[in-house]
Amino acid sequence: MKKLIPIHIETLLPYQSAKRIGLFGQFLLNANESPYNYNIQMNLDNLNRYPDFQPKKLLKKYSNYLQIQKKNILITRGSDEAIDLLIRTFCVSKIDQIMFCPPTYDMYEVCAKIYNIEIIKIPTLKSFQLNTIQIVQHIKYVKLLYICNPNNPTGNLIDISDLLYLLKKVPSNCLVIIDEAYIEFSSKNSSIFLLKKYSNLIILRTLSKAFGLAGIRCGFLIASSIIVNILKKVLAPYPVPLPVSQIAENALSKKNFSLIFNNIKKILENRDFFISKISNFPYVKKVYPSNTNFILIKFKNSISVFQYLLKCGFVVRDQSHKKILKNCLRITIGTKKECLLLIKSLFDGYTNGII
């Protein structure tokens, strides 16, 4: 059996998703999910029939939401499928390279390793902004440049001046992919307005975060119609299950928008409240600014905090495996009640000498 497995697959470390790690607790603050569940109805008729390749109603509703033409949108199974699809479609092993800027979303690296594509890593600056000079210097053979904005796990926005600089400097045969999974938490900073000017720009979106629909796995790729049509050649024949498209269509209806964006507002208020309370705790070295539904915190000893919170029922995300993020934990912002309970647990842990 071992002879059947390519070396690059045998040595592959799969993406360590929150569920795959297998930690359990009462308060799940480790996957950047929305704390709010929407009771969205669906019609289970016609499940004996295959779904549309690209559901027309869903395309229309997302097109209206973004004010982008339908021909520029591709629906995928979460933005993760889009990340994978781009590498499968455009990259050739031993020839092409992909580039990303750690610390960032780990799926870019995992997908590249699955297809044995060479990886170029250009670490961010200490501010977590892009090192644009180094990116341009190493871009010559890069086919795909992945940029997460706002960035995960750091939570910061990438300077628009840096994005514009790269779009001007990057060769036209390199695709610039901006992963906007968290952009609804900072919607004025989307790069969608640049699509008309730069034909090599691709935007990734999802309903998993701000829309609170992580369970249905529905994402979107926005690009030139030429790129979208090329990707359609490679995309699986039935990528969007019927229940998924129905739930997504209902979520994108006008009556749900007010509820969803009101919950986004509550999450941002909870985030700012939590930051204001935790910033002065003696064992907190730094709370990084956030433009998302999560915050990155550097502790004096993150291991003791992580283990203590787990005993208290709080599951958070340890980021210490990334060298630049040593002693850092990423914490998803939950409901106001969850924030208050977390603050109390952190305070009690310190006063009792546990952390």
Most distant CA pair in the chain: distance in Å? Answer: 61
Mark whether 200 and 120 lie in a shared domain: yes
pLDDT at 20 over 70: no
Confidence class for position 255, pLDDT limits 50, 70, 90: confident
Q: Look at residue 23 in the predicted model and tell me its pLDDT.
A: 67
Cβ pair 263, 255 in contact under 8 A: no
pLDDT above 70 covers a percentage of the chain that reads: 97
**Over the chain, what is the mean pLDDT?**
95
Tell me the β-bridge partners of 315.
28
d(Cα 50, Cα 303) in Å, to the nearest integer? 48
Mark whether 114 and 245 lie in a shared domain: yes
Measured in residues, the chain has a length of 355
Q: Is 40 inside any structural domain?
A: no
Mark whether 67 and 23 lie in a shared domain: no
Q: CA 184: distance to chain centroid?
A: 12
Mark whether 121 and 185 lie in a shared domain: yes
Q: Is 47 inside any structural domain?
A: no
Cβ pair 327, 285 in contact under 8 A: yes
Mark whether 337 and 199 lie in a shared domain: no
pLDDT at 21 over 70: no
Tally of domains in the chain: 2
Give exposure, 39-53, as e/b (b: 16+ Cβ within 10 Å).
ebeeeeeeeeeebbe
Give the side-chain half-sphere CA count within 13 A for 6.
Answer: 7
Q: Is 355 inside any structural domain?
A: no
Using only C-alpha atoms, the chain has a radius of gyration, in whole angstroms, of 21
Mark whether 273 and 212 lie in a shared domain: no
Q: CA 245: distance to chain centroid?
A: 20
Domain that holds residue 279: 2-33+256-348
Confidence class for position 185, pLDDT limits 50, 70, 90: very high
Mark whether 175 and 250 lie in a shared domain: yes
pLDDT at 160 over 90: yes
Mark whether 128 and 214 lie in a shared domain: yes
Q: pTM (2 decimals)?
A: 0.95
Closest CA to 179 of 145, 156, 205: 205
Lowest mean pLDDT among 14-23, 69-78, 247-256, 327-336: 14-23
pLDDT at 11 over 80: no
Q: Is 151 inside any structural domain?
A: yes
Q: CA 143: distance to chain centroid?
A: 21
Mark whether 105 and 210 lie in a shared domain: yes
Q: Look at residue 6 in the predicted model and tell me its pLDDT.
A: 82
Provide the sign of the torsion angle of the four alpha carbons 33, 218, 146, 222, taken in this order.
negative
- CATH number for the domain that contains residue 311: 3.90.1150.10
d(Cα 355, Cα 353) in Å, to the nearest integer? 6
pLDDT at 24 over 80: no
- Calculate mean pLDDT across residues 35-52: 87
Q: Is 354 inside any structural domain?
A: no
DSSP-derived secondary structure letter, 317: E
Give exposure, 181-210, as e/b (b: 16+ Cβ within 10 Å).
bbbbbbeebbbbebbeebebbbbbbbbbbb
Q: Look at residue 241 in the predicted model and tell me its pLDDT.
A: 95
pLDDT above 90 covers a percentage of the chain that reads: 86
Q: Which of 200, 232, 254 is where one domain is finished? A: 254
Q: Which of 187, 220, 254 is where one domain is finished? A: 254
Q: Which of 254, 270, 294 is where one domain is finished? A: 254
Closest CA to 235 of 54, 7, 20: 54
For 340, the token pair is 């208050």
For 29, the token pair is 């603050």
Mark whether 103 and 211 lie in a shared domain: yes
Q: Is 41 inside any structural domain?
A: no
- CATH number for the domain that contains residue 114: 3.40.640.10
